[in-house]
Amino acid sequence: MSQQVTVVGAGVIGLAAAWRAASAGYRVTVVDPEPGRGASWVAGGMLAPVTEAWPGEEAVLELGERSLRRWPEFARELAVDAFDPGLSEAGTVVAGRDAADADQIGILADYLGRIGRTVEVISGRRLRSLVPGLASALRSGIVVPGDLAVDNRQLLDALQAACKRNGVEFVRESAREIGPSAVVTDSGVYDADAVVLAAGARSALLHPQLREAVRPLKGEIVRMRPRRGCLPPPGVTVRAIVEGRPLYLVPRADGELIVGATQYESGYDESVKAGGVRELLDYAEQVYPSVSEYELTEITAGLRSASMDNLPLIGRLSDGVIVATGHYRNGLLHAPVTADAVLGILADEGLPDEIAAADPTRDRKREQV
């Protein structure tokens, strides 16, 4: 009889791992009170390792690019097992507003050049000719053709459908306790040959080894839609730096525009803060003025799971529990590479070299050196 794998958490990481494991022949159970919600559901959907790159975070960029390369195949396979998750290859522009913002764009462009990814800094005027509707106050920008975007909610739906099609069982409850061979909920104990902990920021509450390693980092996003007579959303993903703060506008195929994201420590509080929304709306108007006339359709907050070095934690913890969390802003991007890694660990092939940097015990090892 095949091995029983119990996955805690049905965000993009848990669902991707569950789908892959079930496809590979494992019996899989997913434990989550609300499958397909959480930070993955709130997210903007950018798969953008290059525009997220920053000096000193080479390992994050490398892991992101590895995962990005697997995304088209991941999406194709998902379309076969369920349906198309809505991958967009429209590309990304990065824009800076004031002189200091333009300096940041320059630093990013220089850095990308040094590591062999040449990008050209263009004027605000040229940027506006590429993306009509951008604010005339934007000073400069860069065009990054390779970064992708995905419709995060369509993806989550597709992953759940693919899971169900492959026989994954869903337990719609919160995990209260986990161990290497069981998951405890209010209604009972779910025995398992392997437990995969993919509960995002809440993973820290479920395993003592993660208590210091992962923390919730709140983010708000706003969803809007052009009203009649409005200029449509930009045709590409727009990342902007406004007064030093990062902002993104991600267009969806159905006409929706996702604007994100705030970022601050607020424990496990998932309420939407008035000041955060004010900031998003204000900055969005400064980047793409037409949004002022858009209909505001939704405001949501979610909790990213942040690690100390912005790299995820993927691997076995000391008691044998397999962890896949700490994906910070990159959960959607890292889903393919993380799911593959979890499969490798389940098959006792150990942690693949490519994600050695995501070793979940790295903090402890560093302390021992």
Q: Which of residues 200-259 bind its own copies (CB under 8 A)?
A: 222, 224, 227-228
Q: Let me know: does 331 contact 13? Beta carbons within 8 Å.
A: yes
At CA 139, angle to CA 134 and CA 140, rounded to 5? 90
Give CA–CA dist 196/346, Å, rounded: 9
Asked if residues 352 and 324 have their Cβ atoms less than 8 Å apart, the reply is no
Among 2, 123, 129, 292, contact with its own copies (rule: CB under 8 A) = 292
Supply the minimum distance, in Å, between the C-beta of residue 209 and its own copies: 29
Amino acid in position 179: G
Residue 74 within binding range of its own copies, rule CB under 8 A:
no
Give the C-alpha separation, 340 to 346, whole Å: 10
Joined tokens for residue 358: 């995501």
Residues 13-42 binding its own copies (CB under 8 A) are none
Going across the sheet that includes 87-88, the strands are 46-47, 148-150, 87-88
d(CA 221, CA 14): 22
Residue 82 sits in the site that holds its own copies (CB under 8 A): no
Angle 81-40-27 from CA coordinates, rounded to 5°: 45
Single residue of 265, 269, 319, 349 touching its own copies by CB under 8 A: 269
Q: Min. distance of Cβ 293 from its own copies in angstroms?
A: 6
Q: Residue 229 burial by CB count (10 A; 0-12/13-18/19+): exposed, middle or buried?
A: exposed
Single-letter residue type at 354:
E
> C-alpha distances in angstroms, 76 versus 64, 71, 73, 84, 164?
19, 8, 5, 7, 18
Sole window of 62-70, 101-109, 165-173, 282-290 interacting with its own copies (rule: CB under 8 A) = 282-290
Nearer to its own copies by Cβ, of 4 and 266: the residue is 266
Q: What does the per-residue mask of binding to its own copies show for 293-332, with x meaning CB under 8 A? A: xxxx--x---------------------------------
| CB 280 to its own copies: min, Å | 9
Q: Which residue stretch of 50-58, 136-144, 177-185, 276-284 sits at the interface with its own copies (rule: CB under 8 A)?
A: 276-284
Q: Which stretch binds its own copies (CB under 8 A): 18-26, 40-48, 275-283, 312-320?
A: 275-283
Alpha carbon distance 112, 109 (integer Å): 5
Q: Which one of residues 57, 98, 193, 285 is an interface residue with its own copies (CB under 8 A)? A: 285
Q: Choose one: 27-35, 206-214, 281-289, 330-338; the region binding its own copies (CB under 8 A).
A: 281-289
Q: Quick one: which of 278, 319, 320, 349 contacts its own copies (CB under 8 A)?
A: 278
Does 288 help bind its own copies (rule: CB under 8 A)? no
Among residues 269 and 349, whose Cβ is nearest to its own copies? 269
Residue 132 CB, nearest distance to its own copies (Å)? 19
Rounded-to-integer distance, Cα 317 and Cα 248, Å: 35
Q: CB of 55: closest distance to its own copies in angstroms? A: 32
Nearer to its own copies, 227 or 365 (CB): 227
The span of 89-97, 124-132, 264-272, 356-364 binding its own copies (CB under 8 A) equals 264-272
Contacts of 287 (CB under 8 A, 6+ apart): 95, 97, 134, 135, 138, 238, 240, 242, 247, 249
Nearest approach, Cβ of residue 259 and its own copies (Å): 9
Which position among 31, 163, 281, 314 is part of the footprint of its own copies (CB under 8 A)? 281
- Closer to its own copies by CB, 228 or 365: give it: 228
State the DSSP string of 156-197: HHHHHHHHHHTT-EEE-S-EEEEETTEEEESS-EEE-SEEEE
Among 1, 80, 274, 369, binds its own copies (CB under 8 A): 274
The residues that touch its own copies, with contacts defined as CB under 8 A, are: 222, 224, 227-228, 269, 271-275, 277-278, 281-282, 284-285, 291-296, 299
